[in-house]
A and B are shown apart, each in its own frame.
Chain A
Amino acid sequence: MQRPRMNGFVSSQPSRRSFFEQVGSGLCGAALASVLSEDLFGRSLRAAEQTHTQNEALRQFDLRPKPTHFHPPARSVIQLFMNGGPSQMDLFDPKEELEKKHGMSYFGEIAGEVENPQAAGSLVRSWFPFQKRGDSGTWVSDALPHISECVDDLAVIRSMHTTNLTHEPALFKIHSGQEMPGLPSLGSWVTYALGNENQNLPAYVVLDDPQGLPVNHTQSWQSGYLPPVFQGTRFRSTGSPVLNLDRDFQEPDGVTGLERDLVARLDRIHRRKRPGQPQLNARIASYELAARMQLAATDALDLDQESQRTLERYGIGKKPTDSYGRRCLYARRLVERGVRFVQLFIEFQIWDNHTNLGSGLKSACEKTDQPIAALLQDLKQRGLLDQTLVVWGGEFGRLPIAQLPGDKNEKNAGRDHNKNAMVTWMAGGGIKGGITFGSTDELGFAAAENKVTVPDWHATILHQLGLHHESLFFERNGLKERLTGVNGARVIREILS
């Protein structure tokens, strides 16, 4: 059996010469070429030995658009990450039994799955009434009135579960497939596989909350062992959108221009004396791109170009939706410009409702509900929803029993972490709308039917982008490392249109 080739794309890799001819002719696609010395000198050789083709073929990393494994429904992904673990039985998974057994003890049955056993209370029903919504009759609680209007575009997955009930490992798991730090995130894998359609913007943009980074900080969008060109780039809502995008010191504009010209002139002199050194071409291109990015990034985040009506729809300009509304609108503007993967975070962990779930969850919903609905509707109106996969969810779910605050007052109860069941949804990008997939047990404690693992979820996202999760790998330590790991994963075909 022939071993699959590098990343499945060997045949489409340009030869080293044609690659640098393109750089030389100013084709901006090559601008972000990331030439790894390891690959320049190492793995390419191994591939060449195995395949006996293109004796000295060079394996390069750049952000030019790459061919997919098959024709994909989606072109971009917007991940609406819900930090902290939203409560499934208060949003999308109504539980009649929980209603009936409200107040009964259940701790003994699930003791090993409770993070804070000393605070464990009895079974507690949802704080919110549920209704069937839309033509599809999808169940959604009253906490999400705006998303309720979009249910016919959503595929709600009730049977997802993960492997760790602590934030950090669970975040690593959902972002990078395994519970440990140091591995490439989903967005990095996607951009590694597909590159970017706009060479003047980063391929993978992170819109984090000005109020605080998520619990694993910047590790949530790291590229791990993939080249750094694939790590997420933070765009900020205020000030300069990208770190170091503008001069962090005072200087007349004319001076800056003169200095830039000098660097270019020195580099040309340097290169002229060193023909045949591809690294130097890539470097010059990276300086040219840096200059273009200053304009493109600023333009992408310029909301003055949007109509007042649009701003209102996203809830921009009013509390509590302004902050998240802006990020949702940025997300649309970025995918419109060909950015491959946009990842939105919200506060530190807004959905981590250990206590006062009634008010805490409601507040999280109020901040995000309208902006998300606006994003879905806006994408749809512009014909972008078909090619944009929107995914919503957190790192785990919550328990059917109450978590009591220090004073043991049940009125102020919340819910503790739960790795055995969590709810997520997907929309657009080839997803079948108006369906609810899988189920949990009668109390909502654990996924029961059609269980979906985190690797399944990753495999499905990759699939919608035209990628076979098993053919997408990076070789190191003599191993083919994959996002979906070695234990298998299944594309959730039931939710595909």
Chain B
Amino acid sequence: MRLLAKGCGWMSNFLRALPLAYVIVFECHGCALEAETVDFVRDVQPLLKVRCQRCHSATTRKGGLDLSTSAGLLRGSESGRVLVPGKPSESRLWEVLHEGEMPPPGNQALTESQVELLERWIAQGATLGDTPPNRETSLNQHDVLPILLLRCVTCHGRQKQEGGLDLRSRAAMLKGGESGPALVAGDAEASLLIQKIRDQQMPPREKLASYSIKPVEASELERLIQWIEQGAAEVEVSADVANGAPDAMVNEGDRQFWAFQSPQRPDLPAEDVAGTTAPGVPVLHNPVDRFVQRRLAERGLRLAPRADRLTLLRRAHFDLLGLPPSASLVQAVAAADDPLAYERWIDRLLASPHYGERWGQYWLDLAGYADSEGVQHSDPVRPHAFRYRDYVIRAFNSDKAYSRFLLEQIAGDELADYETSAVIDDVIYDNLVATGFLRMAADGTFAGITGFVPNRLDVIDDQLRILTASVMGLTVRCARCHSHKFDPIPQRDYYRLVALLKPAFDENDWLKPISGGNGQAAGKARYLPYVTTKERTAWESTERQLSEQIDALRAAIKEKSGADSFQKEAEAKIKNLEEQRRPQPMVRALWDRGQPSPTYLLQRGDYLRPGHLVGPGIPSVLTSDQTPFNPEPPWKGASKTGNRLALARWLTRGDHPLSARVMVNRVWKHHFGRGIVATLDDFGAAGARPTHPELLDWLAVEFVESGWSVKHLHRLLMTSATYQQDSAVVREHQLRDPDNRWLSRMSLRRMEAEVLRDSLLAMSDKLDRRAFGPADEIESREDGLVTSRAQSGGYRRSVYVLKRRTKRLTILDNFDRPRMSPNCVDRTVSTVAPQALHLMNNKMVHQLSLSLADRLISEAGASASAQIQSLYLIAVGRPPDNAELGALTDSLVALRGQWETHLFQNAKASDAEKVEPDAHRFALGNLVHAMMNSAAFLYID
């Protein structure tokens, strides 16, 4: 880890203030003491003082480390001990100096002889003047609780009390279980706890793997004995939380970074911002354009001319719906030049139910949505996950305020009392389903062998990563093991977040992804039965009717025993009825269960090295010292802590420095091809700086003031002249804006994987537009091809196809649909040969091309040129130009000739009259197939 935060040239200032003689004196110590015993007070302390204590004093304590006193040296940093007497190579203090990690770059490093001096001091035992290095400390409950939590409480804790025993507190240990008290304070030998562990009776050896438990290690047993021998002390230890005192690890300077400051609405640039008066450039009514134009003008550029209507129509359709405009709409738009039409299309597209399917997918990427658990070969399916997917799609369709959307997903279980509510309405149901957001990480803890505490900590880490990267645009993951290298996020802050989530994610009281199994009380899993009362009643009544019918049939069979034919018939009916039964509808949710186990900072992220006790909190750099984290139970009598509700309320404050900016930036990226901050997931120090900071802030404030309306944002961006620009690249662009970071034109984009598949289906009339509900099944062929199974009306949109982690639809895989690891914050686009091979040779694409050919023949009439015209309207949203028409007409003739020859050779005499129409159909199919493979189709201008 980094013991120091960023260097800031402090050393030079410091040296200027320091008497020169002092430096020389202690340099001399370094040389003179080659063979002598190193003395802490005389040799080591002055060295640490000059080189380290600017950041590691009693008051600054960067990384939790205070090198000014022997007590501080002994305590070590937040990552644990820095000194191992006698072992320099295991001592972090020596390691960071030796490897040149410290002092930070830009500061004067220690000389080789100084590092050697410290090495010798540690090798000689690291004596600290009058403080013995290994003084025996008295242990308290926090020294042993982590051991018991890790090794025992699965069976002697909250969910289960085998033998009536609970080992989670001193009082409970004294009370003991059926065999008597587990603990006799002051007498380890007499304590059952010690006897059972020592005799290897506990934890039971045969059950270890299936209960995800490891035996107690010798050093742990020793510590338990020591604690009991010392009297089994229980002392009041206050957890490390923000308490209003100045934070030693994060300072005001850290908080000054642009992304950690609340956005303020800047003044709009003037309407006649330089360069806009040129002929052909519209007056810039839209605020977006003024900010963009200002930057362009600085580079001698201006906004490109407006794209033509049909290009805009196609662009807007793919952007908002992920589907092509219909041929009739294209014709209507081509025919009528209505200046207000564009804004009306945008409104109409935003009102389409397909909008949520398109934009919901981006959010599902962020959440890491998958329909299976992954990790193990069995990759169990998550039968109830689809409710979360549907919730997201509905939320986008109804333009749910983004603030509310976040509240529900982060803390829906704390928004309303579902347990005592007589009726579960849509609101309560949505609240609970939304918490599925924090249930999406791959999770192998359904099996004993992949369900150990470190596996659970990985799941929590993934969920934290999903939360912070998607909502906050911040990386906190580094701080699991050490304080963040680039951003002011100390390790402590990571564990405060872990503590915050603990009432819902408790690695010592874990709810497995699948109900049942060892070490888990029956029926306990991640599912709540609170679907809407309406759905539940309907389900119950259906099931009741089925049961009644089945019972009646069974009774009849009994009555008429002997009548074989009747029995057979009745049994077939029963089987049919049984197949109509549906499993109980459940919600895959996350909920606060109160009474979390304590959270310890894990030194270097190692679960076997618990450090000090940490309480819930939010990253210090995003708050001020004066704002302690004060959650309250969400309603009177609630057994919930309100931790996540407090987090969500903080995240959705109008002045939050990140929430609105991060979302606005994402929406921007999906419309323009790159974010204003290019690193969507990292607004921190290592991320990119915004290209248009004022625009970003203006949009963020506008977004909040519009009531966090995402549709308002779409409307604002899409009605800008910036969005409506032509995508043509001219020489000036190549010279002054080659990457289009200044938005001198629209970026050409390739269809995303789902858009491609859905569009192919839509064009061929094979798209089943039914929304929601359980995912469509997939099929995998022996050679690895994975396809979706057709429904009665064709195939549903990609968002409704089962997302099994081990079996991914080949077409989506080939066209860059991301893998969830644990989520995807920003998609990539590649251009590789397997894509070409797929579109050229795949059977389904071929079948779709024939379907579209049939559609053309029946809809466009017999004329080949009408069919080609129609094909263009359907596939690329415009009529063909002369060159294209020529190419297609030539090819159609040649292809028809080839097909006729082929069909004649293979046809029976009776089929002779079919050859000509068939040849035309197949040849037209080839034309369609070529279009489906063409850049004109795959790329959006």
Contacts and interface: CB of A to CB of B under 8 A. Distances in A.
B841 A244 contact: yes
Given A16-B738, A244-B834, A266-B884, A249 B206 contact: no
Contacts of B895: 255, 258-259
- The winner among A234, A240, A286 for most chain B CB atoms within 10 A is A286
A14 B416 CA distance: 58
B104 to A, nearest CB: 9
B738 A169 contact: no
Given A169-B444, A262-B930, A42 B377 contact: no
Given A45-B678, A486-B481, A168 B444 contact: yes
A244 B930 contact: no
Contacts of B837: 242-245, 290, 293
B821 A182 contact: yes
B842 interface: yes
B214 interface: yes
Contact of A43 (B678, B821, B847): B678
A265 B887 contact: yes
A263 B934 contact: yes
A116 B375 contact: no
A243 B784 CA distance: 8
Contact of B935 (A32, A49, A271): A271
B909 to A, nearest CB: 21
Interface in B795-846: 805-807, 810, 813-814, 816, 819-822, 825-838, 840-843, 846
Nearest to B687: A478
A275 B941 CA distance: 13
Interface in B771-803: 783-785
Interface residues of B, number: 112
A479 B836 contact: no
A39 to B, nearest CB: 8
A61 B828 CA distance: 11
B713 interface: no
Interface string A265-286: 1110111001111011011101
B674 interface: yes
Given A42-B678, A271-B935, A279-B831, A244 B842 contact: yes
B209 A115 contact: yes
A219 to B, nearest CB: 7
A98 interface: no
B933 A274 contact: no
Contacts of A479: 475, 477-478, 686
Nearest to A289: B833
Contacts of A1: 105
Interface stretch (B559-567, B693-701, B727-735): B727-735
A308 interface: no
Contact of B740 (A41, A43, A229, A284): A41
A269 B883 contact: yes
Interface string A51-80: 000001010010000000000000000000
B929 interface: yes
B819 A182 contact: yes
A260 B450 CA distance: 50
- The B interface, classified by DSSP as helix, strand, loop or mixed, is loop
Nearest to A259: B926
Nearest to B674: A41
A275 B729 contact: yes
Contacts of A263: 930, 933-934
Contact of B678 (A41, A111, A228): A41
A181 B682 CA distance: 23
Nearest to B442: A181
Interface residues of A, number: 99
A1 B101 CA distance: 10
A16 to B, nearest CB: 7
A373 interface: no
Contacts of A7: none
Contacts of B899: 252, 255
B749 interface: yes
B92 to A, nearest CB: 14
Contacts of A227: 828, 830
A312 B210 CA distance: 48
Contact of B887 (A42, A252, A266, A477): A266
A236 B784 CA distance: 10
Interface string B736-758: 00111100000111100000000
Given A117-B209, A266-B884, A478-B487, 19 more contacts: A31-B833, A37-B749, A38-B828, A41-B739, A46-B688, A168-B376, A224-B819, A228-B814, A239-B783, A243-B834, A245-B837, A247-B846, A261-B891, A262-B887, A263-B934, A265-B891, A269-B881, A287-B836, A477-B477
Interface of B: 105, 200, 205-209, 214-215, 374-377, 442, 444, 447, 449-450, 458, 465, 469, 475, 477-478, 481, 486-487, 673-675, 678-679, 681-682, 684, 686-689, 727-730, 733-734, 738-741, 747-750, 783-785, 805-807, 810, 813-814, 816, 819-822, 825-838, 840-843, 846-847, 881, 883-884, 887-888, 891, 894-895, 898-899, 901-902, 922, 926-927, 929-931, 933-936, 938-939, 941
Interface of A: 1, 16, 31-46, 49, 56, 58, 61, 107-108, 111-112, 114-118, 165-169, 179-183, 215-219, 222, 224-225, 227-229, 233-234, 236, 239-240, 242-249, 252, 254-255, 258-263, 265-267, 269-271, 274-277, 279-280, 282-284, 286-287, 289-290, 293, 476-479, 486
Q: Nearest 8 pairs between A and B by C-beta?
A: A182-B821, A276-B729, A41-B674, A34-B830, A290-B836, A42-B678, A478-B682, A478-B686
